[in-house]
Amino acid sequence: MPTVFAIAAHPDDIEIVMAGTLAHLKDAGWDVHYMNVANGCCGSTVHDRNELIAMRREEAREACRIAGFTFHPSIANDMEVMYDRPTLFKMSAIVREVKPSIVLTHSPVDYMEDHTNTCRLATTAAFARCMPNFHCDPPTLPYYDDVTVYHAQPHGNCDPLYGPIVPNLFVDVGPKLDLKTEMLAAHHSQKLWLDQSQGMDSYLTTMHELMRSVGRLSGGKFEFAEGWRRHLHLGFSAEPVDPLTEALGSRVYHAR
């Protein structure tokens, strides 16, 4: 079956901006893989570092169990996701192991560097998938199939300088909103942390409002949507293919 690989920065990022699209792809017969590059070690004011790493790993595993996705462990600490050789070599090996036809990752510009660097790592690893002379850690054979990279909406639907980022591809996630909520609620440590400053279930409410705001960007085509921008195909596929639209059909709306 075809494979999609969601590569995000932190535990709960996939649930917030990608999980609805992934769930639709799973329904369409795709094999769904899930990875947070960072382990979430800084996401608490209560738990110590090692306790939190273990906690957030199990929360992410539970979210994957709920949705039926394949879990991949993290390879960096929070605030230490670097676009450097060691991390890129590890990321490249994982991408070659998974052999995705679609990679879903963050926006090329986002509100924090972990997101931006995760995007760069995922995109470069996808580009280098077919280069036998590119180093991987551990050494992993290349694969030569086409891959298409799609970028999720940045937090707040804008870049770090408040410039608006408008997607040109929208996926209707209204039918998957309950699943997204259940997956996000599995990240109990984040509820405890964010409730201290933002009120009960604030992270769940924030996710719903974000999906509603992206729905508005679709011109009202969908009430709740995840937004995507497709990466230029050069170096990734022979033709400008759009497998996400092909797989999801009427669940997808192109604004332009």
What length does the chain have?
Answer: 256
Which pLDDT belongs to residue 200? 44
pLDDT digits (tens, 9 = 90+) for 95-120: 999 999 999 999 999 999 999 999 99
Which pLDDT belongs to residue 83? 98
- What residues contact 220, with CB distance under 8 A and at least 6 apart? none
Which pLDDT belongs to residue 84? 98
Helix (H, G, I), strand (E, B) or coil at 256: coil
Closest CA to 35 of 3, 73, 80, 62: 73
Q: Report d(CA 68, CA 182) in Å as an integer.
A: 13
What's the CATH code of the domain at 85? 3.40.50.10320
pLDDT digits (tens, 9 = 90+) for 155-188: 999 999 999 999 999 999 999 999 999 999 999 8
Which pLDDT belongs to residue 177? 97
Provide the number of structural domains found in the chain: 1
Radius of gyration of the chain (CA): 17
pLDDT in tens, the chain (256 residues): 999 999 999 999 999 999 999 999 999 999 999 999 999 998 887 888 999 999 999 999 999 999 999 999 999 999 999 999 999 999 999 999 999 999 999 999 999 999 999 999 999 999 999 999 999 999 999 999 999 999 999 999 999 999 999 999 999 999 999 999 999 999 988 776 666 655 545 788 889 999 999 999 999 999 999 999 999 999 999 999 999 999 999 999 999 7
DSSP letter at 91? H
Name the residue range of residue 237's domain.
3-254
pLDDT digits (tens, 9 = 90+) for 80-95: 999 999 999 999 999 9
Which pLDDT belongs to residue 201? 58
